[in-house]
Every structure is written in structure tokens, then in C-alpha cells.
Amino acid sequence: MNHPKIAFIGAGSVVFTQGLLADILAFPDLTGAHIALHDIDPDRLATARAAAEHIAKQRGAAHATVTAHAERRAALAGADFVINIVQIGMGEATRTDFEIPARHGVRQTIGDTLGIGGIFRALRTFPFLKALGEDMTALCPDAWLLNYTNPMAMNIQYLTAATGLTRVVGLCHSVYWTMQDLAQLVDVPYEEITYRAAGVNHQAWVLRFEHEGRDLYPRLDALIAADDQLRRRVRVDMYRRLGYYPTETSEHSSEYVPWYLRHDSEIERLRLPIGAYLGIVDENVAAYERTRRALAAGETLEVEGTMEYAPQIIHSIVTGTPRTVYGNVPNHGLIDNLPAHGVVEVPCLVDGSGIQPTRVGALPPQLAAVNRSYLSANDLVVRAALDDEPRHIRQAAMTDPATAAALPVERIWQLCDDMVRAHAQRLQPGLRALLGA
């Protein structure tokens, strides 16, 4: 695998594609890689190809091959690694995920992992994931699928259950950037801290946080006690009450529990930006347009590395260089007190033999209790698709902590009917039924 073939599925997410390519082609061992780009939008695909060729030249990767494919199977054929960054429905579907729940009185900040937004993002993504898995089984059965598409845990659970693929890992930067932020907060260089985290995606927990063998949590406690602005963050509030720091932003974290978004006073106290993700959607579109115009004008693109895990994984598997990353994988005994079939986020060792998740044991009981609520909703969404059972969609929403806190069950079912109507053409046919209140 001296010159691996790396397929980008959803390469029209140009800014993210650029960052990953900048990291991949920064490794001298990977400068001869074949980068196969696929997107269903011809304009975005052309922009992604121009960006990839620009980055290859900028990185001195003269031996890299860049190809662009409107047809997915051509990009996948013979691939060693498949990076999935697809967003089904793009900004239009995301706006629906916010606007309809808001009319029912459900508040969301990001809406891509749990809650009504996460449920329907998953349901419209599953048909694509099944087709992708079938194509990989036929065309690149030994490839590693590196998934960035949210909702991460639901997607990985569905992929492994519905397709039979085993070389699958979900990747997210939340643990890495949380630890960067914590190191800065306690004024210790990131390179000098020792940490261990585990849980579920966007709701993992920092179980160990040390410097030269000394626990850094007491230093963090002192900082929080002295700074009332730090205490106005959801993740800090959760840490103070649960005893372990969560590995995702306050905006994300507020959506996975019933304690915050339901209450006006908490939204004000914790400065929660309702509908924040819609601004991110607009900025992503603007960033794409800036990139497209710059490439068309022959301008130099300043592309920085991302420190994402996919390039590191590819380099480790190709070269045998050992690393530890955080990955989302089926539990199968990795965390004792979480469901075996759920998807958990744990440290993973990577080298020439692939990706090996590490066993964590049991989480502190209060953390496992919060994670189990998250995984229960996930399981019902996945089973809705696997069993073609539309009632499970409504039951998932009933089980979801934030939705259950906001609405009585009759309104939850009405909301789900409205969401099914809006997204019907992107759902598998068996899930398009309207069930009433």
C-alpha cells in the first residue's frame, strides 16, 4: 500500500476536504496517494478537484494522483480508505430540522446528533449509508471506512448492523479540542498532559486529566470557583454536578439532556444560542463560495492542517507508525455498563494492523446513566430503519431527553408526523407513514 487510494465521498464539502488533504499530503509517505473525489453536485466536485490539485502542488506532492468522479462506484473501486463526509439534504434539510420543531416549541442549538434534528438527519442518511456499504462490499471490501457524517453514533450503529462492514470507525474532533482547551485553561502545555476519555460521541467524559502524575481536576475546580463566567457554561455546569468534564461544547451538550433548553432562565444563565447551527450553515456556504472564486481567479489558497484523525489513521496503517486516536465503534464489551450493541467513543490504537479499540471497563454510574438515555434513543432510530417500523421514530423522540422535557407525547407524535411529511422523499418508503397523535 505504498500509494494508497483514498476515496472522498461527499468531497463537495470543499473546506473540510481541503483541510483533510492538507494533512494527508503533508506526510511524505502519502505524497504518492491516489485521491479519488466524488460528489453528486458537479460544480462542487469541480471545485474540490481544483482545490485538491492546488493543495498537492502546494505540498510538493508531485506524485499524487487526483481524480474526480460523478459516479460513486468509480471513486470506490479498489479504494484502501473511504472518507465519508456526506450531508444528505444539505442546508435546506437542516433548516427544516430547526424550523418545524421550533413551531412546536422544541428548541435546538446544533441539531445534528440527538433530538428531533439528529433523529431525522439519521433517517435521511441511512438509505445512503446502506448503498455505500453495498458498493464497498462489492468494490473495496478490505477498505477502512472513516466516517465524519453526523449523527455519528446512530450512523455507525446502522452501518455495522445493516451492511455487515467491520472496518468502520466514526471520527470526531471533540475529545482532542476539549483537551486542547482544558490544557490552555489550566496553563499546562497540551503535549505535557495525560488524559483518558470515554463515553459516547459528543457526550464522552474526561476520566483522567493529569500532568506529571498529578491530577489536574483540583486546579480546574479552583479556576471555576473563581470565575463566574466559567460557571455560565453548560459543560462546566454538568462537570460540577456529575464530577467529570464532558468532551463537547455547551451548545451540543445542552441538547442531550432534559435540564437546560426547556427553561428560559437556563438559556439566559448559560448563554445558549438557540438555532446556532443555521449560522454555521450560512458560513459554510460562504466559505465554499470564497474558495470557488479564489480557485477560479488563480489565487493562492491558504490551507491549514486540521489535526483530524483520518489522516493520522491512514498514515499509521500505511506506514505502521503507532498512534492513539479516539474512535466511535460498536461497544462489544469496551464499556461494561453501556449496551453492547450501542456505539461508544473510546481510545483506539492504530498501526499497520489497523484500528484496535481499547477496553475502558465501567464508567462511573452517573455517567453511564446519562449515556444510556442517549443510546436508548439511538437504538430506536436505528431499529426504525432496520425493522421498517415508523412507530419507533415516535418512540425515539419520546425517549429523547430534551424532546421529552419540551413536549407532551401527543405533541411529540404530531411533530414527528410533520417532520416525516417534510423529509418523506429522503426516507425509506416504509418510514413515510403518518401515525397521528
Residues with active-site annotation? 173
* Strands 34-38 and 65-69, sheet pairing: parallel
What nine digits make up the cell of 232?
A: 455560565
223 neighbors 371 (Cβ within 8 angstroms): no
In the block, which residue shows the cell 496553563?
Answer: 187
Could you tell me the sign of the dihedral formed by the alpha carbons of 137, 140, 143, 146, in that order?
A: negative
Name which of 174, 203, 204 is nearest 402 in CA terms.
203
17, containing H or E segment: helix 14-24
Coil, helix or strand at residue 422: helix
| Integer Cα distance of 393 and 407 in angstroms | 15
Coil, helix or strand at residue 5: strand
| Integer Cα distance of 415 and 229 in angstroms | 36
SS in 3 state form for 83-97? EECCCCCHHHHHHHH
328 neighbors 300 (Cβ within 8 angstroms): no
Class of residue 335 by CB neighbours under 10 A (exposed 0-12, middle 13-18, buried 19+):
buried
Class of residue 180 by CB neighbours under 10 A (exposed 0-12, middle 13-18, buried 19+):
middle
Coil, helix or strand at residue 28: helix
DSSP assignment of 258-304 equals SSSTT-HHHHHHTT--TTHHHHHHHHHHHHHHHHHHHHHTTPPP---
